[in-house]
Structure 1
Amino acid sequence: MKQFGNLFGFRLTQIIKIGKGKFMHRKTEVTLNRHGETEWNLSGRWQGHADSPLSHRGVEQAKALGERMKGEKMDYFYSSDLERARHTSRLVGGPSGWKADFMESLRERDLGVLEGMTTEEMLVKHPSEYQSFRNEGPEYQVPGGESFRQFYDRCSGALEDVASRHPGKKIGVVTHGGFLGAIFRHVLSIPLDAERNFVLLNCSINRLEKNDTGWNLVSWGDVAHLDGLDSLDDA
């Protein structure tokens, strides 16, 4: 059974039951956070595995997220190993004394030759690759990068790996917009070629639970702590 709210809404609650199995007495809780806004987010440059520092607003977003989550019990804390996520994890974990373990599998999608460029620059330097990236579907692999299928498999595998390591525990993860999008599709069984109609906000709180029947999407796109700070949805 699925109960859908407004996917574009400020806070989305989903109840989903997937698969079959016995009742699990202890649920595994995963909280996903996107990194703070970066300078390249502001300038419209595609990041991928390339890196860009947090903007001033991105730092303030991460600090606000850390204060919001202060006092929550977190048994394990992970982060992508890219610096924008590392920096965010330090600011988020600081007030609570959490120190992240870094995982390469939590990275953003590898965009190969398109990384570090704006759309306008891609249309000049790599027009055919850009058009293929936009139009050829989840199996297209940009030169030097990942196809969306490969990226999805990596992201869903990373989530399942973390959950299987720590059953019944509370787990925090600092990651990227693309990773969040892949996980949203994974949990709700959304086709990879379906148009995105859900938010991927900087320093948002996105909560999942897992029991023996599968994953539950508890809340999505919660940015109540960013009062007065905009949050980009540009992944």
Structure 2
Amino acid sequence: MIDSGWPRRLWLARHGESIGNVADRAARAAGAPRLDLSTRDPDVPLTDTGRAQAQGLGEWLSRQAEPPTVVLCSPYARASSTAEIALRAAGLELPLVHDERLRERDLGVLDGLTGTGIREALPEEAARRDHLGKFYYRPAGGESWCDVALRVRSLLADLRSDSAGQDVLVVAHEAVVMVFRFVIEGLGEQEVLAIQKNDTLANAAVTTYELKDGALALRTYNETTHLEAQGAPVTDEPDVPARDV
């Protein structure tokens, strides 16, 4: 029996470049142990480049023959702002639903540290991460990728009951989008980590799924042509410190 309970189309967009992405890049270039960033993670805003990327995302949405009918986003400022700017640019008057299950992965005691900082200040955490591996490692006070997968599975179950047959846009974070791929495609631990390592998700990039034979099928991953068409820079700095943990 074909299950038609999925959305007809699912777009997954990463937020635009944030000041956290820039601070991470600067800290790594300087070999610093910690990011020069005083804002708590939920409140980290977009940069001017990030806002231009969100505008490019909206222009792209405006050209879709069948634009989204449902829009969900992480409550974190960088994702909310990306969604708001994109919807305005697309001329779409849709309610923006903030869902905490789409929030960034919680890094607990590692928040704000670079890989260098983790190894210097918390060598036991670095050793535990090396032993468990990136996918299963949960920082003290934080979340593993598996914890994020529980959130994503819960949200997808709600989409199947509330948004079946609709076109859904989700605006979230790098790790969250990668976990969507893990869940929807039934990927293994090493498969999803290899994708993240070898093809880092760009800011405001879009990953598209379409309903086919009762299941969601991947159509595009990490698409950035809409940014290039609008002259918006393409940036792919991992969410901090996603490269390390």
Bin the TM-score by the shorter chain: 0.7 to 0.9
Distance in 2 separating the partners of 1:127 and 1:173: 36
Alignment of 1:1-235 (within 5 A): 21-22=1-2, 24=4, 28-44=8-24, 50-72=42-64, 73-95=67-89, 96=91, 97-137=93-133, 138-194=135-191, 195-197=193-195, 198-210=199-211, 213-227=214-228, 228=231, 229-235=233-239
When the two chains are superposed, the root-mean-square deviation of aligned CA atoms in Å is 2.5
Letter in 1 for 2:214: T
- The offset of 1:98, in angstroms, is 3.2
Distance in 1 separating the partners of 2:5 and 2:127: 49
Distance in 2 separating the partners of 1:142 and 1:23: 38
Which region of structure 1 is more displaced relative to structure 2, 95-104 or 49-58?
A: 49-58
Q: Is contact 1:75-1:170 (8 Å) kept?
A: yes
- The offset of 1:103, in angstroms, is 0.2
TM, length-normalised to structure 1: 0.81
- The offset of 1:50, in angstroms, is 4.4
Distance in 2 separating the partners of 1:148 and 1:26: 23
Distance in 1 separating the partners of 2:129 and 2:206: 29
Any gaps of 5 or more consecutive residues in structure 1?
A: 1-20
- The offset of 1:24, in angstroms, is 4.2
Per-residue Cα deviation, 1:91-139 (whole angstroms, up to 9, x for no partner): 1111223341100001111111111222222222222213423441333
More helix by share: 2
Distance in 2 separating the partners of 1:92 and 1:123: 39
Per-residue Cα deviation, 1:12-61 (whole angstroms, up to 9, x for no partner): xxxxxxxxx32749962111110001111122259995442111211111
Letter in 2 for 1:84: R
Q: Is contact 1:62-1:91 (8 Å) kept?
A: yes
TM, length-normalised to structure 2: 0.78
Distance in 2 separating the partners of 1:64 and 1:107: 22
Percent of aligned positions that are identical: 26
**Paired residue for 2:27?**
none
Q: Is contact 2:73-2:80 (8 Å) kept?
A: yes
Distance in 2 separating the partners of 1:226 and 1:126: 39
Change (3 A) 1:104 1:221: same
Change (3 A) 1:149 1:179: same
Distance in 1 separating the partners of 2:237 and 2:157: 25
Q: Is contact 1:48-1:111 (8 Å) kept?
A: no
Letter in 1 for 2:75: D
Change (3 A) 1:71 1:119: same
Q: Is contact 1:78-1:102 (8 Å) kept?
A: yes
State the secondary structure of the residue aligned to 1:196. helix
Letter in 2 for 1:98: L
Distance in 1 separating the partners of 2:119 and 2:154: 33
